[in-house]
């Protein structure tokens, strides 16, 4: 039995890939570098020929480099959507043509223009060559190939320096630019035979090999290292089809920017580039000036000194290829950690070069700088080629050019310092710059493996969907291992979700579980930190929201879906932006939306902000449906809507499903969600805990138990005390709160209000006794919120009176009524979105703060400090009482709707009012929290001895909470009395309740629906 022959040198070098493309790229790289090196060695001659100073010639060099860098991004954009080989060859030819123009320059301006044009060769090389190498050569060979490609620079620099110096010495500084342009044109012509490689196919191959080996190890119990040589960056094994290359359309500039900016190691690289710019692109010019000024070397002598320095480069590249390949076998982060050592070494050699007493020492220092900077470069490039998605690889490599630009200012600064006190001291400026840049870049090492994993996850998801498409079982949406956070706070971690065509899927969970964040990530409003979102076979993980909308995904946000300053019709026209330019199509879409929402037909010209909360929700839904989406994301369908409207909307959702639209629904009422959904996912703590049919989820009420209000109302304690004391001063007495006695706590007498000639309230009478809890119900637009606005002083009635504790407050302002003991929550939780929870509750204690003058605050007097400490203590009590500890230091804008609702209620409690108006306190709160909310409100009323007036659409909740109900319809009192009496009236049922028992009982026994909907067996998910 004969052993297999050892692989040849080509197989070891390129991993078995063809060598011809690499030869062309290396020669192009070297030929272009020869031109760039000619500039470096001839800087003193150019300076003298055009009568410039050191700072002047260095400014022109920096300007040409800046022009090249600015062109890099648009070149990369086209490289991601066109043939990169053709683009690379064309760029090299254009650069050589401008090189001939440099030889003809006779003015400073002409020279600067030609140098900028010649730099186009570099502008094209970096994005196209690095991207092409990643697609020409296998993953295992990339470190070696990038090293060889980088060696082309060194060889080109040697040839360029020697020939440029020799030709300039023999003829003129103009001769090298003509001579060097010719081989570039020849190689560009030969390169037309190079084929264009497929993007990302080697990554797909490597992933398939990795999964095969993982499967083999799992079967044999072995624990050998994977084949990819990527350390922990290799993805875990899953039982999925072997990934195959899936060609995708190139990303737009917006998507590519979002995609690249989410790559952590690239962000660190971008941050380091301004510090490394002088070393990367300007050091050769600085070194040439140092040799000329300090050691008085002529052009030929400089060439003979600078050219051998490239030997150090080649030695560093050979060593770097060996080291980089070995490091990648253990962990790709090690290549970045080695940068810290390299940066200190480069800084040390820079000091030696600046202070060198003679040419030999300067030569050694110069070589040391070059070797230290190149030794880890190929390994870093190989890692970046894996961390950047294939379809945006050119742009990912090139965006760093924009961050090099600020660093170019260092080059003329060094020249200016050299003009003033000597170039030796100018060169010392580079020392701290090298160190800082290297350390920043090295700090990105711990991010590279996670970035590679994200690329792997996206490839796997797209490959799975491609395989399923071939089998005819393609899911419409696949979310894989999705992670999302805000300001460093992780909200979602490792979430997997699938939605099929014509399917309704519900997302369930307590407040803060991450349901709304998942919708925002799918819709592109919140950018994913990791994982993949694939819609109909296309990766949309980092696509901008407008592009995702064009793909057929529409989103209905909870409570914020309209432009309040626009009319109803203007909102609908704005929603038709996808067909703008087609007036007939816009009219058709708008009319169809109005026909589907009859309540909006008579209010087309009315300002959307004048609509009730429920009517605004209906308008938002009409705007979303106007786009005729394939996937509809609904956040809080029943938010602020009367049962009869919710019943209608549920039928609309079912009809959408029947017409072919898939729906992903976030709904706090589990009963409502499970009544319409085919399947459901239960989220908790940002991870999927359970997935199954609606019937299976309904049979597991334990999955949805509240995690916030358990502590607010301890079980078995009944009306637990709220334990909130006045923060600083004593609570207001009878003079501030009202006369008390037998007078009603609140009286509304014959109040009428009109808006634009439309009656919102018509002769409304309402009396609430001290300590009583009254529920106000009615359909959307009945006038409930307007009634609260009148009572709290935000709207002045056209007729009637409002009395608080027997005191007429009709003419008093809202702040005055608050000081008299009136507290109110709003339907949309009007809180300070940029404040943290702790700060918001501290502000809510303002009523009791007796040291609030600016002088105390500015001087930080003892009284002010005692006040702040007392407020902080009381705010901490409320935070603990309402179970908001995990959110104490988060801004309100980062909280879910339900969590903001709890903060709003806590702020009302902090005010310690005697009459409390609660506008839909359960809106946006998860069902289990709603069930605990009743006991909490009873406890609050008992502790504060307060009267509660509650507007609520959750019939089961308000009927259980209130002593009596008042039903409004079209601005008039329809009925008043005990809950059973009011809810049993036919006119109340027709106007408000509807016929759906599930919608009426938004809160209540979750298990009541168990077994109602057939489904597959549920799946438990391990949490993270």
> What confidence category does residue 975 fall into, taking pLDDT thresholds of 50, 70 and 90?
confident
Is residue 457 over pLDDT 70? yes
β-strands 489-499, 773-777: how paired? unpaired
Q: How far is Cα 65 from Cα 401, in angstroms, rounded to an integer? A: 10
Arithmetic mean of pLDDT over the chain: 75
pLDDT of residue 154: 75
Q: pLDDT tens digits, residue range 496-506?
A: 898 988 899 98
How far is residue 592 CA from its own chain's centroid?
34
Q: How far is Cα 55 from Cα 742, in angstroms, rounded to an integer? A: 90
pLDDT of residue 726: 38
Q: How many DSSP H helices and E strands does the chain contain? A: 43, 21
Q: Is 494 exposed, middle or buried (0-12, 13-18, 19+ CB in 10 A)?
A: middle
Helix residue ranges per DSSP H, 191-241: 201-220
Is residue 452 over pLDDT 60? yes
- More reliable by pLDDT, 349 or 992: 349
Q: Which two tokens stand for residue 999?
A: 């919608």
CA neighbor of 300 nearest in space, from 607, 42, 561: 42
pLDDT of residue 202: 78
pLDDT of residue 1016: 44
Q: How far is Cα 708 from Cα 685, in angstroms, rounded to an integer? A: 12
Q: How far is Cα 499 from Cα 465, in angstroms, rounded to an integer? A: 12
Q: pLDDT tens digits, residue range 431-443?
A: 777 778 777 877 7
Q: What is the mean pLDDT of residues 236-243?
A: 40
Helix, strand or coil for residue 728?
coil
Contact present, 506 and 680 (Cβ < 8 Å): yes
β-strands 504-508, 679-684: how paired? parallel
Q: What is the mean pLDDT of residues 292-309?
A: 75
The DSSP line for 167-204 is: HHHHT-TTHHHHHHHHHHHHHHHHGGGPPPPPTTHHHH
Is residue 944 over pLDDT 60? yes
Rounded CA Rg of the chain? 36
Is residue 183 over pLDDT 70? yes
pLDDT of residue 801: 92
> What confidence category does residue 717 fall into, taking pLDDT thresholds of 50, 70 and 90?
very low
β-strands 538-539, 489-499: how paired? unpaired
Q: What is the mean pLDDT of residues 892-898?
A: 73
Q: Of 255-259, 338-342, 802-806, which one has max mean pLDDT?
A: 802-806
- The kind and range of the H/E element at 554 are strand 553-556
Q: Between vectors from CA 529 to CA 523 and to CA 532, what angle results, nearest 5°?
A: 60
- More reliable by pLDDT, 779 or 923: 779
pLDDT of residue 280: 56
> What confidence category does residue 695 fall into, taking pLDDT thresholds of 50, 70 and 90?
confident
> What confidence category does residue 861 fall into, taking pLDDT thresholds of 50, 70 and 90?
confident
pLDDT of residue 441: 76
Is residue 247 over pLDDT 80? no
Is residue 223 over pLDDT 60? no
> What confidence category does residue 893 fall into, taking pLDDT thresholds of 50, 70 and 90?
confident
pLDDT of residue 85: 87
- The kind and range of the H/E element at 128 are helix 120-136
Q: How far is Cα 177 from Cα 182, in angstroms, rounded to an integer? A: 9
Quote the percentage of the chain above a pLDDT of 70.
Answer: 76
> What confidence category does residue 227 fall into, taking pLDDT thresholds of 50, 70 and 90?
very low
Q: Of 147-161, 832-846, 1001-1015, which one has max mean pLDDT?
A: 832-846
> What confidence category does residue 939 fall into, taking pLDDT thresholds of 50, 70 and 90?
confident
Is residue 581 over pLDDT 50? yes
Helix, strand or coil for residue 73?
helix
> What confidence category does residue 575 fall into, taking pLDDT thresholds of 50, 70 and 90?
confident
Q: Which two tokens stand for residue 131?
A: 């991207």
CA neighbor of 211 nearest in space, from 228, 230, 231: 228
pLDDT of residue 803: 92
Q: pLDDT tens digits, residue range 63-86?
A: 777 777 777 878 888 888 888 888
pLDDT of residue 683: 86
CA-CA-CA-CA dihedral for 319, 324, 326, 328, to nearest 10: 180
> What confidence category does residue 733 fall into, taking pLDDT thresholds of 50, 70 and 90?
very low
Quote the percentage of the chain above a pLDDT of 90.
Answer: 3
Q: What is the mean pLDDT of residues 801-820?
A: 89
Q: What is the mean pLDDT of residues 707-729?
A: 39
CA neighbor of 213 nearest in space, from 180, 181, 236: 236
Q: What is the mean pLDDT of residues 406-425?
A: 72
Residue linked to tokens 């909360």: 613
Strand order in the sheet with 822-824: 822-824, 915-919, 947-951, 773-777, 964-969, 972-977
Is residue 216 over pLDDT 60? yes
- More reliable by pLDDT, 168 or 898: 168
The DSSP line for 862-908 is: HHHHHHHHHHHHHHHHHHHHTT-GGGTTSBGGGS-HHHHHHHHHHHH
Q: Which two tokens stand for residue 638?
A: 């029943």
Q: Which sign, positive or negative, has the C-alpha torsion 835, 841, 845, 851?
A: negative
Q: Of 110-124, 741-755, 783-797, which one has max mean pLDDT?
A: 783-797
Of 343-347, 410-414, 674-678, 865-869, which gets the smallest average pLDDT? 410-414
pLDDT of residue 949: 92
Q: What is the mean pLDDT of residues 220-225?
A: 44
> What confidence category does residue 1021 fall into, taking pLDDT thresholds of 50, 70 and 90?
very low
Cβ contacts of 621 within 8 Å, gap of 6 or more: 556, 561, 597, 634, 649, 652
Helix, strand or coil for residue 632?
strand
Contact present, 939 and 720 (Cβ < 8 Å): yes
pLDDT of residue 219: 61
Q: How far is CA 603 from CA 327, 430, 585, 609, 789, in A?
A: 68, 68, 22, 12, 22
Contact present, 636 and 666 (Cβ < 8 Å): yes
Q: What is the mean pLDDT of residues 351-372?
A: 82
> What confidence category does residue 1009 fall into, taking pLDDT thresholds of 50, 70 and 90?
very low
Is residue 235 over pLDDT 60? no
Q: Which residues pair with 486 in a beta bridge?
A: 489
Is residue 445 over pLDDT 80? no
pLDDT of residue 664: 92
pLDDT of residue 1010: 38
> What confidence category does residue 718 fall into, taking pLDDT thresholds of 50, 70 and 90?
very low
Q: pLDDT tens digits, residue range 16-62?
A: 778 888 888 888 888 877 877 777 777 777 777 777 777 777 777 77
Is residue 595 over pLDDT 80? no
Is residue 344 over pLDDT 50? yes
Q: What is the mean pLDDT of residues 421-432?
A: 74
């Amino acid at each position: 039995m004969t052993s297999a022959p050892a692989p040849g040198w080509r197989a070891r070098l390129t991993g078995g890939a063809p060598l011809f493309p690499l030869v062309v790229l290396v020669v192009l790289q070297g030929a272009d570098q020869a031109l760039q090196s000619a500039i470096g060695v001839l800087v003193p001659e150019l300076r003298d020929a055009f009568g410039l100073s050191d700072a002047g010639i260095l400014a022109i060099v920096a300007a040409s480099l800046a022009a090249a860098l600015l062109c890099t991004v648009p070149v990369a954009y086209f490289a991601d959507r066109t043939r990169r080989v053709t683009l690379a060859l064309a760029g090299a030819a254009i650069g050589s043509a401008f090189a001939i123009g440099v030889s003809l320059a006779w003015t400073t301006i002409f020279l600067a223009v030609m140098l900028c044009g010649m730099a186009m060769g570099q502008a094209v090389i970096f994005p196209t060559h690095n991207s092409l190498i990643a697609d020409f050569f296998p993953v295992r060979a990339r470190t070696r190939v990038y090293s060889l490609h980088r060696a082309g620079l060194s060889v080109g620099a040697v040839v360029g320096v020697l020939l440029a110096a020799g030709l300039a010495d023999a003829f003129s500084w103009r001769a090298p630019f003509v001579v060097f342009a010719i081989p570039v044109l020849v190689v560009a012509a030969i390169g037309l035979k190079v084929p264009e490689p497929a993007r990302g196919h080697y990554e797909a191959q490597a992933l398939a090999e990795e999964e095969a080996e993982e499967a083999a190890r799992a079967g044999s119990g072995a624990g050998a290292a994977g084949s990819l040589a990527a350390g922990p960056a290799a993805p875990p094994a899953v039982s999925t089809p072997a990934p195959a290359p899936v060609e995708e359309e190139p990303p737009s500039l917006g998507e590519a920017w979002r995609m690249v900016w989410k790559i952590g190691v690239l962000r660190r690289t971008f941050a380091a580039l301004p510090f490394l710019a002088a070393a990367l692109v300007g050091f050769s010019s600085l070194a040439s000036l140092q040799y000329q000024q300090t050691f008085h070397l002529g052009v030929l002598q400089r060439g003979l000194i600078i050219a051998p320095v490239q030997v150090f480069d080649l030695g560093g590249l050979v060593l770097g290829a060996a080291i980089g390949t070995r490091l990648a076998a253990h962990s790709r982060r090690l290549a970045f950690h080695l940068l810290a050592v390299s940066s200190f070494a480069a800084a040390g050699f820079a000091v030696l070069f600046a202070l060198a007493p003679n040419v030999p020492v300067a030569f050694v220092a110069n070589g040391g700088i070059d070797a230290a900077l190149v030794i880890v470069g190929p390994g870093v490039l190989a890692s970046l080629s894996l961390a950047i998605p294939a379809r945006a690889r050119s742009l990912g490599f090139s965006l760093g050019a924009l961050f090099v630009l600020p660093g170019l200012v260092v080059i003329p600064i060094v020249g200016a310092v050299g003009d003033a006190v000597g170039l030796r001291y100018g060169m010392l400026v580079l020392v701290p710059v090298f160190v800082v840049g290297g350390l920043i870049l090295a700090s990105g090492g711990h991010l590279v493996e996670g970035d590679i994993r994200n690329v792997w996850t996206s490839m796997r998801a797209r490959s799975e969907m491609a395989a399923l498409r071939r089998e005819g079982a393609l899911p419409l949406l696949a979310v894989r291992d999705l992670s999302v956070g805000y300001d460093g706070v992780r909200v979602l971690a490792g979430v997997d979700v699938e939605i099929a065509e014509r399917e309704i899927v519900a997302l369930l969970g307590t407040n803060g579980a991450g349901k709304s964040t998942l919708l925002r990530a799918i819709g592109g409003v919140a950018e994913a930190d990791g994982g993949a979102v694939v819609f109909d076979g296309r990766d949309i993980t980092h696509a901008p929201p407008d592009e995702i909308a064009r793909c057929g995904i529409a989103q209905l946000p909870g409570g914020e879906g309209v432009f309040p300053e626009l009319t109803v019709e203007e909102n609908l026209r704005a929603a038709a932006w996808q067909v703008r330019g087609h007036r007939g199509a816009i009219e058709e879409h708008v009319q169809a939306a109005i026909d589907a929402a009859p309540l909006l037909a008579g209010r087309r010209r009315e300002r959307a902000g004048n609509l009730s909360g429920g009517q605004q929700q209906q308008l938002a839904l009409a705007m979303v449906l106007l786009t005729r989406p394939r996937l509809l994301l609904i956040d809080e369908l029943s938010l602020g809507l009367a049962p009869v409207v919710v019943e209608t909307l549920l039928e609309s959702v079912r009809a959408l499903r029947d017409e072919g639209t898939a729906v992903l629904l976030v709904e706090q009422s589990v009963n409502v969600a499970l009544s319409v959904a085919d399947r459901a996912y239960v989220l908790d703590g940002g991870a999927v805990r359970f997935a199954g049919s609606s019937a299976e989820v309904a049979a597991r009420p334990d999955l949805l138990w509240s995690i916030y209000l358990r502590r607010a109302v301890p079980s078995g304690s009944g009306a637990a005390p709220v334990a909130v004391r006045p923060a600083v001063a004593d609570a207001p007495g009878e003079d501030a709160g009202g006369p008390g006695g037998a007078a009603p706590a609140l009286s509304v007498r014959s109040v009428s209000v009109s808006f634009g000639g439309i009656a919102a309230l018509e002769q409304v009478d309402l009396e609430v006794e001290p300590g009583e809890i009254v529920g106000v119900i009615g359909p959307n637009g009945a006038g409930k919120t307007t009634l609260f606005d009148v009572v709290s002083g935000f709207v002045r009635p056209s007729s009637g009176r409002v009395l608080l504790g027997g005191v007429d407050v009709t003419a008093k302002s809202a702040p005055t009524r608050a000081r008299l003991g009136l507290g109110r929550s709003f339907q949309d939780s009007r809180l300070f979105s940029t404040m943290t929870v702790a700060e918001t509750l501290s502000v809510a204690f303002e009523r009791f703060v007796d040291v609030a003058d600016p002088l105390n605050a500015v001087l930080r007097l003892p009284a002010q400090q005692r006040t702040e400490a007392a407020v902080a203590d009381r705010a901490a009590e409320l935070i603990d009482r309402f179970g908001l500890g995990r959110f104490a230091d988060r801004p309100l804008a980062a909280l879910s709707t339900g969590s903001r609702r709890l903060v709003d209620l806590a702020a009302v409690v902090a005010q310690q009012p005697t009459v409390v108006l609660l506008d839909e306190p359960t809106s946006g709160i998860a069902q289990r929290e709603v069930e605990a909310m009743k006991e909490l409100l009873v406890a609050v009323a008992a502790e504060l001895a307060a009267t509660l007036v509650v507007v609520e659409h959750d019939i089961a909740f308000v009927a259980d909470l209130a002593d009596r109900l008042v039903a409004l319809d079209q601005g008039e009192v329809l009925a008043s009395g005990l809950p059973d009496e009011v809810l049993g009236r036919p006119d109340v049922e027709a106007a408000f309740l509807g016929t759906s028992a599930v919608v009426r009982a938004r809160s209540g026994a979750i298990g009541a629906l168990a077994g109602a909907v057939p489904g597959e067996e549920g799946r438990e998910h391990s949490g993270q």
